[in-house]
Structures are given as C-alpha cells and as structure tokens.
Amino acid sequence: MPPIKKTKPKRNKSRAIVSKFGAREIDSFVNDFATMSLKGNVDSKTGLVYDDRMVEHHCLFDPDYPECPQRFSHSLERCRNYGLIDRCHKLQSRPATSDELLLQHDSEYIELVKGTSSADDEHLTNLSTKFDAVYFHPATYDLSLLSAGCTIDLATDIATGKLKNGMAIIRPPGHHALKDKACGYCYFNNVAIAAKHIIDNLKMQRILIVDWDVHHGQATQYAFYDDPRVLYFSIHRYENGAMWPNLRESNYDYIGIGKGMGFNVNVPLNKIGLGNSEYLAIFQQILMPIAYEFSPELVIVSAGYDAAIGCQEGEMEVTPACYAHLTSMLMSLANGKICVVLEGGYCLKSLSEGVALTLRTLLGDPCPLIGSIAEPDASAVETILNVINAHRPFWKCLQFQGTTQSVDLDIYSDTVSKKVDILEDNDWPNHKTTFEYVGVPPEEPFPLSGFYPVQSEAVKVELAKRIDELISKTDLLFPTQRTCIAYDKRMALHRNLQEIHPEKPERLMAIVTRLEEAELLQRCKLLESRMSTEEELALIHRKEHVQEMKDTETMKPREMLKVAEKFRSIFLCHDSYRSSLLAVGSVLQIVDEVVSGRSQNGAAAVRPPGHHAENDEACGFCIFNNVALAAKYALDKHELQRILILDWDVHHGNGIQNSFYDDPRVLYISIHRYNNGGFFPSWKNANYNYVGKGRGEGFNVNIPWNTVGLGDADYLAAFTNIVLPIAYQFDPQLVLISAGFDAARGDFLGNCKVSPEGYATMTQLLCGLANGKVILTLEGGYNLRALSASFAMCVKVLLGDSFVSPPPGPGPCDSAIQSINNVISAHKKFWSCLKYQVNLPALKVENEEGKSELVQGAEGGIPSSLTEDFAQLNLTISAEDEYDSFAAYAVIPKTDCPHLKFVDSLMKTFNLDVSTSKCSRCNEMQENWICILCHEVYCGRYINGHMLDHYEENTAHCLAISLSDLSSWCYVCDSYIHDENILTSIKEVLHEKKFGHPPPKPSLS
C-alpha cells in the first residue's frame, strides 16, 4: 500500500497497477450475477429413472447370455442397500414416441423391431442371426422404447434445470444401435436419441458425450461425426482392432469430418489389465482439458461398467470406486448438469458396485479413497500421446508437447487452416505414432452364442474374492454435517491505523455478508472460534517471534510502527496479536472438526492471512502462518501422514514452503505470479526449480506465472497437467487450500482473470481427493466483490451444490504453457504420472487448395467451427452491465493528478539500467523508486526511505514510479495515480528497459 503523506513509498504487495487494460477487463460477475448464481436451486435433486419391467427382456436360447436381467436387478438392489434410491427424485418411466426414435433410426428398422413383439420363438431366434451380438424377445421392443423414453426425459429435466443431475438404470443398452440395425445388445441408441432431442427442442449448442464403456460406441460416433455441437469422447479397449466391434474407425485417427473435425475423440486401449491410473490419466491429459475448452451445456455419460475389475468382456482393472472419481470430475462441467445412462457391464458384483458408487457421487457424497495411483502403463501412455497428436491442431489445451520435424502419416481428409510455429529445441524424447489394424469385423450369419468370453470357475472365484476385498476396504462412511465454517468479527479489529490498506476489516465483513445473502452461511455448521495457544504457535514459529508480536499489545503507537517497519509489508495495531491468535485458532478448530469426522469439509474466513509468515518473522500482511500451523497440527495431533496444501493465492506462499521444504509428509503446490522474480515476495525460491530438499525433494511444486492476465484456462491447465496427477499419486489424507483470491478478475494486486466459477471448479476437483476432507482458508483477495463472490462460490461447492461453470473461451496462453512445461521438466523424475513431455510428429494435412502442409497445433482459442457460435455468447460487458471500474478496486488510483502536467516525454530518452539500479544514497537495490522528473533512484520506506527524503528536499519532485511493479505515486496528492495518456507510455519504456521487451498487450481472453 502506498504511504500517507510524510511516509515513504516502498516495494509492497499492496500496490495498484492501473494500466491501459482497465475497465473493460472486469467482467459482469461483479454485479448482481454473483448473488443470483450463488443462491442457485438448492432444492434441485438427483434424478433416477428405471422400470421394474426391464427384467423381462432376456435371451430365450442361451441362459448364460451376458446381457441378462440380473444386470438391472443387482444394480438396483445395491443402490437400495446403500439407501440411495430414497434420496433421489424418481422419474416416471415412459416409452419413446415414434417421432423421437426417428431422430436416430430408420422407419423400416423401427417397424422391424416393433414386429418382434408378436413373433414366435423360432422367428425371434432366426432374426437374431441377422444382427451382430443381439437376441430378440417379445418384450424387447417395448422395453427398448422405455429405455429410450427414460433417457430422453432424464436428460431433458437435467438440461432444463428441473434436476441437478441424474442416472438412468435401464436396459437394453443403446450405444451400439445403428441407424438401421440392432448391434451389440443394443436396439435403439438411447443416448444419441436424447442428445438429438435436446439439440432440436432445447436448441443446445454444446453437448459432451463421454462413453467409458469398454466397447467403442460406434453408433454414437456415426450419429454425430460431422456435428460440432456434440463432442463424442470414447475410452475403449481396441487392441489394434482385435477387440469387438473390430472396426478401423474405432482408432484415434478418426476425429470427425467437415465441421465436426476435432469433435470425435477415440482413446483406443491396446492392452488388457489397465485400470485406475490409466483412466485417470486419460481424463486428466485429454478429456478434462478438451471439455473445459469446449464448455458443454450438458454432459451425457454412456456408462458401461465392463472396464471394471472382474468383467469377462473387458478384462480391465478399473475399481468401482474409481468411477466415483471420474463422475466427480465431470461434475465440474456444464453447471453440474450430468446425465449418466447405463450401458454395459457384465460382472454383477463390480457392475452393481460401480453403478451404486456413481449414483452416490451424483448425490454429493464424497469420493471414496482409491489409494496411490501407480505409474500408467506404457501402452496407455502411447495411446494418450497419439490422441493428443491427432487433436492438437484443434484444441489449444493440447499444446504441451514439442514437435519433431518429421512428417507423420496423413490422417485428416478435410481442411485445417490453423498452424503454429514449431516449439524451441528441447531434450525431450521423440514419440512416433504408429498405425496397426488387425481387426476382422464379424459377418452375417452371426452366431447366437459362444461368441462372448467365458471365465473358468476358478477365475470367477478369485475375481469375486478380489472384488469383495475391495468393497470391504472401501470406506463409505461420511459425516452427516457437510460443511463447517469459522469466523470471528473480532478479527476485524486488526487494522492499519496509518493509512487505508487493502488488507482491511471490510474483507471479512464482505465475505460474511455475501454468504448470508446467498443463504449459504445458514447451511454451514458455525464453529466456536478460539485463540490458539503459544504452544500451538510453537509448532511453526520461534518463541522470539511470538513474544515480539505479543508485546505489541502494550506498545505505544510509535514503538509499534518501528516493529512493523522491520518486516516487509506489515502493519500492526494493539489488536493484531489477538486477531492473529483467533485466525490460527479458528483454522485449528476446523482441522479438529474435519479430521475427527464431525464435518465433511470446512471453510475458514480469517484474517490476518498467513502464508507469507516465516517461522521467525511476519511478512506480506501475515503475522502467523495459519495453514502451515494447521498442517503441522494435523501431523502431530491427528497423526496424519500425507497432507496436500494447494496455494492458489497470486503471491507465492514463501512461509509455507519454508516450513515443509524437507518434509515428504506435506506436498506443497503453489500457483502464483512470479514474473521472473519481479513479483512479491520476489525471491528466487518461488521458481519452478525449487523442488524441496532431502527427503522432501519433489514435494515442493511451484507453478510460477511470468505474465499478467492469466485466468481460468491457465489455472485449469495447471490442474490437469500437474496438480491432479501429482495429487492422485500422493494420495493425501487431508487437503488444505491456501485460498487467496487476489488472482481474481478485478483484483489489481494480482492483475489476473480467474473467475468465481474458476475457483469453484478448482475446489470441485480438489474435493475428489482425501475422501472429501478439504479445508479452505482465506489468504489474500482485495477486490471486495470479487473476493466475496469467489469465496462464496467455493463454499457452495463444499456444500455440494451445483455451480456455474466457466464460459467457453481460448485455452491456456503460451506463457502458461511454458511455465507448466518447466514445472513438469523439474518434477517428472519424482512423479511417474508426469509421462507426457515428449516431442510429437508434425502432421501432414491437406489445406483448402488441396496441398499438404505441416500442422503442429492450434494457435489458440476454440476450434474454428465453433468460433461463430461462441461469438454470439455474452462474453463482453454490455452497456447496462458497465460500471465505474475503479469502484471495486482495493486501492483506488487518482486519475486527475494535477502535478502530471510537469511530465513530458523525458522518461523516454533516459539511459538508466533499471534492472541494476541502486538507491543513490545507500546503494540498496530493493524497494526502489525513480523520480519521474529527475530520474534519480531512491529506496522506499521499507528500506531507508530516501525517496521521501528526496521529495522533502525538493517538493517539486513529487512524482515517483516503483521500479519493482511500475505503480506510480504522487506525494502532494498522497495517492497512487494513473493517467492513461501520460504514464502508460512511461511505464512501457521502463518495462522494456527492465525486462528487455515491451509489456504484454492487453487481451480479453
């Protein structure tokens, strides 16, 4: 914060940089939208649809046929055993109409299936030989109509907001049903029909279909292969075409045609025995990045459970509990609108358990622990890289691999116009994409039985034993109380008595008020606050530091000011010590509450913040390190062994890092602005190459941003590429979030663009860890509206509510991609999950003139076929949404400083070496400012205060610019100042002299 008159400017966190990318950078979320979206529809429920008559469909000629009625009855029974059905809103089943079926199927084929209702057994058996892996029963037609009708109604109610989410436990399944043929146990394509119904009737433009059935849903692929409104994503066993349905088009290079190019994503698995680590890697490396960039309005899951352990058809190793995690990640999309539709799954134990745990997750119960994730299999890594290479011309989010100069096979038949430069040379290994197809599709007449795999009794017994053991070890207990919260109005007594300061009491009041207005506070368990003891503080802090802070209670103001000025960016008053004790004690209360199982998760609205506080000194508005103390308390008192601290405050949490730098029990991950060491706290140990030491090596992960303006896409890219893979391998027992909201859009201390929805999305992803034991603790955040909206959105997630997803837009920026790659390079030797840093072949693609050209990746933004659609969205501020942008600033710059009239273009020609400039009087190199009029450099008040002395000696020299952050100050006006016509050009010159290049141009991305 700048000084009041007669104090000296210093290098400080609390500066305001008001640049030419000002007012219109702030989105309309800071208006009434935030409260409206926070309230949401808390009464909306999880829907469930089924019909008991669905057991009537069975095979007349083979009692061992895999697609049997027990699949349905066992799944429902398991849900009943867990008490899930009574918690859902039950939809009335109904048959699909002829018009609805015609959205996907030919009328002649519909009539053929209809005719089976009155056919005799012999006719049904003969008809079955004309279709691949199909049997007919007199009830087949009616029950297939029910399956389709149930899916349509459930998906429609979710899409329209009548339901939060839902599951259709139905049979027959649908994703293999072709336009004019039954296929693979399927008669009508339930999911495709529902998606087309919603597109036609609700005019939705972006639907994501995730097909995790172990067999490729070829019919769904065909239905939308040229349609950019539907992103079809299939994970399936392929084995180079040897796995049914044995189709060449199930491979990764089938990406869609025409406008649909890039919207068909096949992830073909070429090995059996793959499990949790591979499926999570596919989600983290491909599905979730593309989905965030696509930003669906609805997610439909073709949920087959035949990749689950024990299924004879899949021969995979996915545990039932893993499906809960996959579902939880998808719930961060489409405002939580996710419709899960049962497809396959033929091991009754793992099928029924997977169905139940999926439904349980939709109901908001925490994801069960699945243990540390193993290194992904090499064959899956190869597939993931092949898929990325095939799709990176279309998706900005898939730009983290390098590019080789070699030309790969032609795999595209349509036109692609986007192109980027080949990445700089690196020492990464080169990945070679390969094609092999050994499949032989079956032909008519098709066998009636014996075509499906059969397990021996010994194998069945062994698998059943393994599944039972998994179920018995899966802890599904969770507290009846969802979210606890701690705050105390006495923390507002901590204030800066010398000047207006961004870390002000109103921050706490704004949060509490917003929670009350959104009716969230009333739904939380309010814990009684308490003061921490000196013994608890000693877990992290030296007793000398504690005593010095304690002594401030009785100090005279002048003495207290001298103590504060010993530290970087600290203010003190007589109530600071007690407020700090309350902050620490409140966080420890939540630790006790959550770890002991009385509440599922918690939020601490506390101040002063803590993550900069070192063991022996206060720093950066922080007196005691709240989160570091919470972690050490949980380790010592509750005997936890693995704690994840995720710090998304825009400033590096130096205090937390130093507290656990050699401790492998605490994984500290910080996402922060670094600006090559130029951003507070401006220490080099905030860079990516500081990874921990000794036994803690690899457990300190810094993700440093080196530019301004980073937003949701960049933070989510950090999550999918680094945070989630490492966190799942670490397998924490508790997640602590150092939740600073100064990277929020509109906060000019951070100058970033993370939305409240972005923070909510990150919270949702973290809630999949540690059995949902997540504690969010306030750190920074100085735009009161952005702060309160973002904090409340996170609490909304903790309470299990749906939330508004981030809007569609461009993927991560080039600078973020570089930073993320630097982190991966530094940590891949410690974490086997970081397997994807390679060079991929350039692809040869036909351009619009029919000539070949090399394409390495998308330049940025969403695929071109969606550009026009997205341009119609309300992504800019309308006239009625505009407001005085400075009204929400934590530090309001003065825009009409009369003393700027003395400034001309002198600063454009001076020859000062800004990067090495020392104070003209004491040679200090930190906290320095430059006089705009005479170009002399002096230090600010946190050093020796010589810039103030310079002004007092010559009061005409009242204007100064910080060489650290380019904020500008007028001593006469006693305020930060800004003038777009005068100061912007000066700051551009200083920026170029300091960093060797012009400042980044403003962007609305």
348-362 and 320-330 helices cross at what angle (nearest 10)? 30
Judge contact between 157 and 197, C-beta under 8 A.
no
Q: Which of 57, 74, 175, 176 is catalytic?
A: 176
Catalytic, 137? Answer: no
Phi and psi for 712 in degrees, rounded to 5? -55, -50
Helix-, strand-, coil-residue percentages of the chain, each rounded to 5: 40, 15, 50
Nearest to 318 by CA among 357, 257, 273, 359: 273
Q: How many angstroms from the chain centroid is the CA of residue 150? A: 31
**Distance between CA atoms of 1005 and 999, rounded to whole angstroms?**
16
Catalytic, 612? Answer: yes
Kindly state the tokens that stand for 355: 């169905």
Residue 366 identity = P
Kindly state the tokens that stand for 303: 């949920």
Kindly state the tokens that stand for 117: 């209702």
**Distance between CA atoms of 653 and 670, rounded to whole angstroms?**
7
> What is the helix (H) or strand (E) element at residue 666, kind and residue range?
strand 666-673
Judge contact between 135 and 447, C-beta under 8 A.
no
Q: Which of 57, 391, 612, 978 is catalytic?
A: 612
**Distance between CA atoms of 380 and 308, rounded to whole angstroms?**
16
Length of the chain: 1005
Judge contact between 449 and 61, C-beta under 8 A.
yes
| 974 Cβ contact list (under 8 Å, min separation 6) | 4, 5
> What is the helix (H) or strand (E) element at residue 627, kind and residue range?
helix 626-636
Judge contact between 269 and 307, C-beta under 8 A.
no
Read out DSSP for 599-620?
Answer: EEEEEE--SS--TT--SS--BT
Q: Starting at the edge strand that comes first in sequence, how are the strands of the sheet with 666-673 ordered?
A: 525-526, 481-486, 599-604, 774-778, 734-739, 643-647, 666-673, 700-705
Read out DSSP for 322-373?
Answer: HHHHHHHHHTTSGGG-EEEEE-----HHHHHHHHHHHHHHHTTPPPPP--PP
CB environment 163-173: b (16+ within 10 A), e (fewer): bbbbbbbbbbb
**Distance between CA atoms of 216 and 882, rounded to whole angstroms?**
49
Kindly state the tokens that stand for 322: 């893993």
User: What SS3 state is found at 547?
Assistant: helix
Judge contact between 126 and 61, C-beta under 8 A.
no
**Distance between CA atoms of 856 and 835, rounded to whole angstroms?**
20
**Distance between CA atoms of 130 and 42, rounded to whole angstroms?**
50
The catalytic site residues sit at: 176, 612
